[in-house]
Amino acid sequence: MTRGLYSFILYLLSPLVVMYLAFRSIKSPDYRYRWGERFGVTRLSQSDVLIHSVSMGETLAAIPLIKNLMAAYPDSTFTITTTSPTGSAEVAKAFSEQLGKRVQHCYLPFDFSVCVKRFLGQVQPKLFIIMETELWPNLVHYAKLSKARIVLANARLSAKSAAKYEKQSKLSTPMLTSLDAIAVQTKLEAERFESLGVNPEKLVVCGSLKFDLQIDESKHQQAKTLRQQWQKIDVPVWVAGSVHPGEFEIMLKAHEQVLAEYPQALLIMAPRHPEQFNVAAVATTQHGLSLSRRSMNEAVTEQTQVLLGDTMGELLMLYGAADYAFIGGTLIENGGHNPLEPAAMGLPVSVGPHHWDFSEITALLDQAGGLSVVEGADSLAKQLLLMFADKQQHQLAAQACLTVVSQNKGALAQQLQLIESQLQLSNCKES
């Protein structure tokens, strides 16, 4: 498929795009607003640097990078885009003092050529930083035509994604070869990019920005205080983080097995998407388990068996209040989510078999002894009971996770160096 054919098909599918937004708006009210931005209907100022991240996880990883760039280039202006309301909220929170001054923010428009051209015509960036692998053919094409230098930062490329790119090489190869530099997370992923036609001179293995997670001491203190308030100091507490429909039942069945051994144990279940909060609550009550909802400030008592983490931005702190974590999106064919947050909080971790989006990170934690792969409710319950019964084994696994995170820090400095070199080249070209 060529880019022209891709654009034609995209226009044919435009009614479905509107239907998608409407459907998401029903499930998640935050999607009801700012539709104009998604079609490039904006009034934006010219910015020196354009940074795009997708959702909350990518945005949190990007924030330290952006703040360091802002400090290094105090006269430069920045446009930050996301695609999800959760990512947008993180941008608003992190850059509240700069918004309207050095920073402007909006949703990235859909990849319709007319929308992308209108958006880029307003922003006119010298440097365009795309986080991870959020690549869109028209976006990259028109950014290149506008003479912006394009950096793919914190880049990931799973074997599954590489195979998809290879099948659509007429569309993907021009897009990938248009990139000026790629800060890739691992050597294996660099090899995948190279096999797709990327010049190896453009590839720099930097590691993952997510290893450079900075955890405020206040989060540790808040977590400790919560655990004391819950009166769960001496009983097991575990988190099922970023879980999806299809996994709620598995988590609850595993917890029922834990409760058979530890009747006062607590499961903190945090669905990935806000529109699934009520679904998770219903599933819990249908299992006959005692439920408290974090969003309603309902007290966690000795009788509480499940705390629903139905708030945004608190998951890292909730990990800190627990002894063990399961990472969602891995017992369904989703690809999984980042296991580094609980690992950085000193928690042993379990994932399901479908963790390809974080396969290298998962492998590091597994090899160190801090992570286990489970197949379902029974194997998860078995792992939980093993860790809760053997304090020494739990401590060794927790320390293994902390060691992996510590040993792999440094990606932020390396990626900053690469990005600054590209920004300097863009400035030289302009002058």
Which residue from 181, 133, 215 is spatially nearest to 409, judged by alpha carbons?
215
Q: What is the distance of C-alpha 52 from the center of its chain?
A: 13
Which distant-in-sequence residues (6+ apart) come within 8 Å of 134 by Cβ?
A: 52, 53, 54, 58, 83
DSSP state of 278: H
Side chain identity at 105, as an amino acid letter? H
Q: What is the distance of C-alpha 237 from the center of its chain?
A: 24
CA dihedral 238, 244, 249, 251 (to 10 degrees): -20
Are 378 and 257 in contact by the 8 Å Cβ rule? The answer is yes
Structure tokens at 50: 């354009």
Query: How many other C-beta atoms are found inside a 10 Å radius of the C-beta of residue 336?
Result: 23
Place of tokens 């692998």: 133
Place of tokens 């900053």: 416
Are 151 and 134 in contact by the 8 Å Cβ rule? The answer is no
| DSSP per position, 344-388 | HTT--EEE-S--GGGHHHHHHHHHHTSEEE--SHHHHHHHHHHHH
Side chain identity at 212, as an amino acid letter? D
Question: Using CA atoms, how far apart are residues 163 and 192, in angstroms rounded to an integer?
Answer: 9
Place of tokens 């058979």: 260
- Using DSSP's 3-state secondary structure scheme, residue 308 falls into strand
Which residue from 95, 126, 115, 148 is spatially nearest to 42, judged by alpha carbons?
115
Q: Pairing between strand 203-205 and 103-107?
A: unpaired
In angstroms, the Cα distances linking 34 to 25, 53, 90, 98, 108 are: 11, 17, 16, 21, 11
The catalytic residue positions are: 58
Question: Using CA atoms, how far apart are residues 38 and 248, in angstroms rounded to an integer?
Answer: 32
Beta strands in 108-236 (DSSP E): 127-131, 149-155, 181-184, 203-205
End-to-end CA distance of the chain: 38
